Amino acid sequence: MEKQTVVVALSGGVDSAVAALLIKKKYKVIGAFMKNFSDTKNPFTNECNWREEYKAAQKVALQLQIPLHLFDFEKEYKSLVIKPMIQAYKQGLTPNPDIPCNTTIKFPLFWKEAKTLGAQKIAFGHYAQIQKSKQGYHLLQGKDQTKDQSYFLSELSQQDLKHTLFPLGNLTKNQVRTIAKKHSLSNWNRPSTKGICFVGNIPLKQFLEKSLKHKTGILKDHHGKTIGTHPGSFYFTIGQRIGPHLDMTFNEKFKNQNNKRWFIAKKQGNTLIVAPEDHLSLYAKKIKLINLHQINQNEKIPKVLKARTRHLAPLQTGKLNKHNNTYTFTFSKPQKALAPGQYLVLYHKNALVASAEMR
């Protein structure tokens, strides 16, 4: 029987390399590198980051003896991920571009291109698991709780899961590096990537300044007293620590009387309300949700769930409620720095049940 063809997303990193190595035993494997963003450069070599990643992917493909294709999605990425992200920041929200990156680029566009190469499935080096039952497909957390990436995959559909493989789901990062080293893969000890999906580890404010120009705003404390100014509320997020290093200025009275750590508690237009560490205004027990997405529509969502407010944040128990088509989530205990625009991802046991944007 002829082997099925799987197109594996090779990023240049060790995770995708080991994913390709593992499924090569069972499938005919084709590698594909996604070029999604070419504006970021290495400050030392002045070379575009994607070219360095592509060279690393080429080395791995050569070692594994698999063909490597280049999928150019830069136009779509800027339109479907970067543009909406900047618009969301402009509106005072804190978006998470990694989630729409998966739902608009990695999975639909990658799958479309993979099918032109004769693929029956696609594979990624994500730390997550897919399980099939009579009710459909389920997305589970990865075995390695320190690397679990199910949060970023929380808006995938049944169709996405149907033709996708996550070969690393039942492995730890240490096991992945051990496998890579054992097979002498050139990138076995390559550092993991950080920062915005495909953009790289660039300071967010620096990235946003290219599109959002400075707009001086007022800093107020939790009592309503003006304590200084900032360059624009859209550069900052709820729960972020404030300071002069963020181009903020403070009046002398505030500087002389405060040796505490202060954080952003709320945005009111272009005014930032700040409070000292652990002040009640930094916490909320109930959050409104919009655009609830359920992974498996055939299953009823349990009322008591565990929630993540950001990637790898500790799971927090709470209840999902619906009233007049509006969803809210009430935590068992108040949570710090719930930022509108970020995703709340809901789990039951180790299965990802649903996700929604916090408002």
Q: How far is CA 98 from CA 82, 102, 179, 283, in A?
A: 10, 6, 27, 25
Here the CATH number for the domain that contains residue 302 is 2.40.30.10
Name the band, by pLDDT with cuts 50, 70 and 90, for residue 198: confident
Place of tokens 């909406």: 84
Count other Cβ atoms within 10 Å, centred on residue 163: 16
Q: Catalytic site residue 197?
A: yes
- At 42, is the secondary structure helix, strand, or coil? coil
The residue from 175, 202, 229 where one domain ends is 202
Bridge partners (DSSP) of residue 288 are 328
Is the same domain home to 192 and 219?
no
- Predicted confidence at residue 129, as pLDDT, reads 98
> How do residues 232-242 score in pLDDT, each as one tens digit?
999 999 999 99
Is residue 242 in some structural domain?
Answer: yes
CA-angle at 122, arms to 117 and 123, nearest 5°? 135
| Domain identity same for 235 and 350 | no
Q: Tell me whether residue 198 is in a domain.
A: yes
Question: 260 and 298 in one domain?
Answer: no
Q: Which residue range(s) make up the domain with 56? A: 5-125+167-202
Helix/strand/coil for 174: helix
Which CATH number do you get for residue 78?
3.40.50.620
Domain assignment present for residue 248? The answer is yes
Q: Do both 198 and 218 map to the same domain?
A: no
Active-site option among 9, 139, 197, 287: 197
Percent of the chain exceeding pLDDT 70 equals 97
Q: What digits encode the pLDDT tens for the residues 70-127?
A: 999 999 999 999 999 999 999 999 999 999 999 999 999 999 999 999 999 999 999 9
- Asked if residue 83 is part of any domain, the answer here is yes
Q: Is residue 38 part of a domain?
A: yes
Extended beta strands in the chain, E state: 5-9, 28-35, 68-72, 121-123, 128-133, 136-141, 164-165, 217-221, 226-230, 249-250, 262-268, 271-276, 283-294, 304-308, 316-323, 326-336, 343-348, 351-358
Task: Give the strand order in the sheet containing 121-123.
Answer: 68-72, 28-35, 5-9, 121-123, 164-165
Statement to judge: residues 251 and 192 lie in one domain: no
Q: Is 48 a catalytic residue?
A: no
Catalytic position from the list 80, 101, 272, 275: 101
Q: What is the pLDDT of residue 197?
A: 72
- pLDDT, tens digit, for every residue of 134-187? 999 999 999 999 999 999 999 999 999 999 999 999 999 999 999 999 999 999
**Are 94 and 9 in a shared domain?**
yes
Question: Averaged over 270-294, what is the pLDDT?
Answer: 97
Do 116 and 238 sit in the same domain of this protein?
no
On whether both 316 and 238 belong to a single domain, the answer is: no
Q: Could you tell me if 186 and 305 lie in one domain?
A: no
> Is 347 among the domain residues?
yes
What domain count does the chain have?
3
Pairwise CA distance, residues 130 & 306, whole Å = 19
Would you say residue 79 lies in a domain? yes
Closest CA to 13 of 187, 194, 247: 187
pLDDT band at residue 41, thresholds of 50, 70 and 90? low
Kindly state the DSSP code that residue 10 receives in the 8-state scheme. -
Residues 182 and 233 in one domain: no
268/289 Cα distance (integer angstroms): 19
Residue 147 lies in a domain: no
Is residue 198 located within the same domain as residue 217? Answer: no
**Of the residues 151, 179, 202, the one at which a domain ends:** 202
Please name the residue that has the structure tokens 């409620």: 321
Walk across the sheet containing 262-268 and list its strands. Answer: 249-250, 226-230, 217-221, 271-276, 262-268
115 and 38 inside one domain: yes
User: Is the Cβ–Cβ distance between 109 and 76 less than 8 Å?
Assistant: yes
Contact, 157 vs 165, CB < 8 A?
no
